[in-house]
Amino acid sequence: KQPVLIMHSCNDALIAPSEAIKLFENASNSNSKLWISPHCRHAWLHVYRADLYKQKITTFLDRNLVKKA
């Protein structure tokens, strides 16, 4: 199974953060990551936390993509 990156906001009024936690707990790859950001609404991480959002994605991909020679 492949690693997954789950990004969620603690102020999400549509989907409770507990749902992201459940998904993460059921991820079978030890390289999976969970980020729950404070002070943000549903689907706004890329706006309110843009720098950290990009950094989290870049770091995850750098660590988990297979590099072919």
Region 51-59 average pLDDT: 96
Region 42-61 average pLDDT: 94
Q: What is the CA radius of gyration of the chain?
A: 13
Q: How far apart are CA 27 and CA 41, in angstroms?
A: 24
Write the pLDDT tens digit of every residue in 18-46.
999 999 999 999 999 999 998 888 998 99
Residue written as token pair 């072919």: 68
pLDDT band at 66 (very low <50, low <70, confident <90, very high): confident
Torsion of CA 46, 61, 63, 35, to 10 degrees: 30
Report whether pLDDT(69) > 70.
no
Report whether pLDDT(48) > 80.
yes
- Single-letter amino acid, residue 16: A
Q: How far apart are CA 69 and CA 67, in angstroms?
A: 7
